[in-house]
Amino acid sequence: MDDLIAATLARASGPAAERPKRPADAELDARLTAHLKRGVAALLDKKAEKLVVLNLQGLTSMADYFVLATASSDRQAQALADAVEASLKAEGRRPLSIEGYSSPWILVDYGDVVFHIFHDEARRFYGLERLWGDAPDATASFR
């Protein structure tokens, strides 16, 4: 039991970037990257605006990435959320939850990736880019 606790503490100490990746981690990272690219492509296919991918790894345990996108109407926001869900469902992934489907902020939560689909005014109001200002912008890696 002490070995299990020591191993858990060793894994949890220090930022994730400082810890060496195990082979299983590399495989999970590749799968996560593929899912992110697929979700981003679905958003871009439906004409999402102001797309930003924030890398939260090492900053929080709630998710590895936030994907932020802006829609110009309720209908487009719903179409964006549906497109993300359909594209990742084709990969065998289902969201843990979808919140706010009829509101100015739709959240599609996959655990490791959370897609935030905003109306422009809601995006400015909540300011997730400001709130997570220390998160690196990884958008270029997923377009």
Predicted pLDDT of residue 143: 74
Segment 60-97, tens digit of pLDDT: 888 999 999 999 999 999 999 999 999 999 989 999 99
Residue 100 neighbours by CB distance under 10 Å: 16
Instruction: Tell me which long-range contacts 25-33 makes (C-beta under 8 A, separation of at least 24).
Output: 32/64, 32/65, 32/112, 32/113, 33/141, 33/142
Predicted pLDDT of residue 39: 95
- pLDDT > 70 in the chain, percent: 82
Kindly report the average pLDDT of the chain as a whole number. Answer: 86
Segment 119-143, tens digit of pLDDT: 999 999 999 999 999 999 999 887 7
Predicted pLDDT of residue 29: 81
Question: In the chain, what are the domains?
Answer: 47-143 (3.30.460.10)
Q: Are strands 113-119 and 65-71 parallel, antiparallel or unpaired?
A: parallel
